[in-house]
A and B are shown apart, each in its own frame.
Chain A
Amino acid sequence: MYSRTKGADTFGVSGKLWREALVMYDRETDTLWSQIDGRAIRGDRKGQRLEVYPSVMMTWKEWVKRYPETQVLAKDERARRMTQSVYADYFQDGGKIGVRKSIPELQKETGLASKEKLLGLSHDTDAIGLPFSRLKGHPVVHAQLAERPIVIAFDEAADTARAFWAGTAEAPRTFTARRSDAGLQLVSGDDVYDALTGRRLEGEGPELAPLPSQVSYWYAWYSFFPRTRLWSPEAGAVKKR
């Protein structure tokens, strides 16, 4: 999810894949842009980068519970008939990855299954990845990104995760997780927040600022951010080598 420059600039699907991910083009200059890191990789705008607009993935049921006034993209007849992803077979086949058959070397290095989902975070030159399999049983995680404290909420029921800035290096905030009928919540002192949107539900504290993040397959994230620090419950997010 990206901001576009103000004006008439729109983007289309180039039909190309690079590093196992979608390549977009802008209709004004035909420059090619990679989806994962929002970078112009070929054309007049090469070197420019799109600004990430914070977004979150969850099920419709969880989303509409939080935002009953939400707007929804209207569906045409074909979309209305869909009851699953057109790529459902692909998602369920652990052996197929993008256009490659397998990536055994990377798998050996990370110890992750091929279709494992990960919450990817990047800021300045730092990047962290939190694999969903390792987050199980850890609804709230504290970590550092670019030397600033962050908090990550993992909602197993909604099968999604979100990250927020957690105060400053001098005054970090700590949170505990609380499950309620309204979904997972983050609690810090008297302040209670929705863990997936950062909205304050109780207390007087500041709203939580979401970090630009992506839920993607770990290999896609990894191929764009090879210096990603992978998080584990035992070691936190450690530097690579």
Chain B
Amino acid sequence: MRHRRLLVPTAALWLATAPFAFGQIAEDRIEGDVIHHVLPKDRIPAIDEPQLVLARDAVEFMRDDEPVIGVVGPDGQARCYSAWQLDLHEIVNDRFGDQPYMVTW
């Protein structure tokens, strides 16, 4: 009985640490959670110099059901970004006058 109680946790510990001991997996963690290296940096290109057009010129390329992220600037100027388009870029570095902001998706 005494042996069993000792054996179980020892085996569990070995199994949990074995891959590291053999150098098979190098897990990178931040605050205990794995950070997955999925793609090279900038493979998904952020937009740094966004070109903006007026709504009347956007009608030809925007669809009614297309989801957008909308934002209103300090001077009341409204601006929006298509979520479908953001799938390709994830980040837009933009500004309202001297107030820089970024859209993240």
- B68, A59: Cβ atoms closer than 8 Å: yes
A99 within 8 A of B: yes
Q: Which residues of B contact A3 (CB under 8 A)?
A: 99-101
Known: A1-B71, A11-B93, A13-B41. A72 touches B104 (CB 8 A): no
Question: B5 near A: Cβ within 8 Å?
Answer: no
Partner among A16, A53, A60 whose Cβ is within 8 Å of the Cβ of B68 = A60
> Interface centre among B50, B78, B88, by most A CB within 10 Å?
B78
A84 contacts B71, C-beta separation under 8 Å: no
A217 within 8 A of B: no
Judging by beta carbons under 8 Å apart, are B44 and A83 in contact?
no
- Mask, A56-84, CB within 8 Å of B = 1, is 11111101101111111111001110111
Contacts of B50 in A (CB 8 A): 73-74
18 pairs from A and B in contact (CB 8 Å cutoff): A1-B101, A3-B100, A4-B101, A6-B98, A6-B100, A10-B46, A10-B102, A11-B91, A16-B37, A59-B67, A60-B82, A63-B70, A72-B81, A73-B50, A73-B92, A79-B82, A79-B84, A86-B87
B41, A25: Cβ atoms closer than 8 Å? yes
Q: How far is the CB of A3 from chain B (nearest CB, A)?
A: 5
What mask results when residues 74 to 105 of chain B are scored 1 for a CB within 8 Å of chain A, else 0? Answer: 00011111111101111111000011111111
Does A125 interact with chain B (Cβ within 8 Å)?
no
For the complex, would chain A's binding face be called helix, strand, loop or mixed by DSSP majority? Answer: mixed
- Chain A residues bordering chain B, tally (CB within 8 A): 59
- Please give the residue numbers on chain A whose beta carbons come within 8 Å of chain B beta carbons, in ascending order: 1-7, 9-19, 22-25, 32, 35, 41-42, 53-61, 63-64, 66-75, 78-80, 82-87, 99, 197, 223
Which of A4, A23, A64 is B93 in contact with, Cβ under 8 Å?
A4
Is B33 part of the binding interface, using a Cβ–Cβ cutoff of 8 Å?
yes
How many B residues touch the partner, as a band? Answer: 35 or more
Interface: B3 (CB within 8 A): no
**A17 to B: closest C-beta gap in Å:** 4
Contacts A57-B69, A79-B88 supplied; 19 other A-B pairs, CB < 8 Å: A9-B100, A11-B93, A11-B104, A12-B46, A55-B70, A57-B67, A57-B83, A60-B80, A70-B70, A71-B52, A72-B55, A72-B80, A72-B81, A73-B50, A73-B79, A73-B92, A75-B61, A85-B87, A197-B72
A207 to B69, CA, bound (A): 21
- In angstroms, Cα B55 to Cα A58, docked, is 16
Q: How far is the CB of A119 from chain B (nearest CB, A)?
A: 14
Q: Evaluate contact between A75 and B101: CB separation under 8 angstroms.
A: no
Q: Which of B61, B65, B71, B100 contacts A55 (CB 8 A)?
A: B71
Chain B residues whose CB sits within 8 angstroms of the CB of A19 once the complex forms: 33
**Set of chain B residues within 8 Å of A87, measured between Cβ atoms:** 87
A15 / chain B contacts, CB cutoff of 8 Å: 37-44
Given the complex of chains A and B, what is the CA–CA distance between A57 and B103 in angstroms?
12
Which of A22, A69, A70 is the most central at the interface, judged by chain B CB atoms within 10 Å of its CB?
A70
B17: Cβ under 8 A from any A Cβ:
no
Q: How far is the CA of A83 from the CA of B89 in the complex (A)?
A: 16
